[in-house]
Chains A and B, each alone.
Chain A
Amino acid sequence: AQKITQTQPGMFVQEKEAVTLDCTYDTSDPSYGLFWYKQPSSGEMIFLIYQGSYDQQNATEGRYSLNFQKARKSANLVISASQLGDSAMYFCAMREGRVERSNYKLTFGKGTLLTVNP
C-alpha cells in the first residue's frame, strides 16, 4: 500500500485565491511527522511546513497551513492568497517513528503540480 497518497496530479488556482492540496498517509506507528515541500522547476526541494503526530494544533507558516485530520489520516496543505510564484510541484512526505530515535527516512508522495493563473 502507498504510504503517502496525493490524488491530484495537477491543480489550477486563480491568483489571490486559496487552494487546498490533498495528502493522505498510511502508518501504524503512533509517532510520525508530516512534511510539505515545494519543488520549483529549478529542482530544489523547499521545506514549507511540518506537523507532528502529537501536535494538538494545526501547523501554520505564513500563507501555508496544514489541515491535519488524524483520524482520517489526512494532512492537506492550504495555501492562502496564491501568488504566481507558488506555481510548482508540491510534495507531501512522512517520517515514521520518534524524532529522538533519529528516524530519518522521508517517504514522499508523487506530488501535485500547482499552476497559479493571473
Chain B
Amino acid sequence: GAGVSQSPRYKVAKRGQDVALRCDPISGHVSLFWYQQALGQGPEFLTYFQNEAQLDKSGLPSDRFFAERPEGSVSTLKIQRTQQEDSAVYLCASSFLTGGPGNTIYFGEGSWLTVV
C-alpha cells in the first residue's frame, strides 16, 4: 500500500494477556519507529529500527515490551502480561534515510489498545 499500515486497528485485551501489534511500513523505507500515545498526550518514542537492526529501544517502558523486525520490513510490537497502564494508541512510523532536509517520518493510523 501507499502508506504505513497497522493491525489490528483496535484491540481489547484482558489484563495479563499478551498482545502483538503489526506494522507494515512504506515500501523501501529503511527506518521504522514505534511511538506510544496516551490519551490527551503527544506521542512518545519507544524504539527505532534501521533495517532489521534495533538501534534504540530506550523508550520501551518495561521488559514486558518487545519489538522485532526480522527481515527489515514488517515489524511487530509485543506486549506481554498487559497492564491497564499499557492502554494507549501505538503508532508505527517509517522514513527513507536520504539525509535530505526533512527526512520526513510518515505515521500509520495506530493500533488502539485498551486493557480491561
Contacts and interface: CB of A to CB of B under 8 A. Distances in A.
Interface in A26-65: 33, 35, 37, 42-47, 50, 52, 55
Contacts of A110: 40-42
Interface string A100-118: 1010111111110000000
B112 A43 contact: yes
A18 interface: no
Contacts of A102: 31, 50, 97, 99
Contacts of B99: 99-100, 102
Interface size class of A (residues with CB under 8 A): 20 to 34
Contacts of A111: 41-42
Given A99-B99, A104-B48, A45 B43 contact: yes
Interface string B32-47: 0101000011111100
B12 interface: no
Given A50-B101, A99-B99, A104-B33, A43 B110 contact: yes
A110 B43 CA distance: 8
6 shortest interchain CB distances as A-B pairs? A108-B42, A45-B107, A50-B102, A44-B109, A43-B110, A43-B109
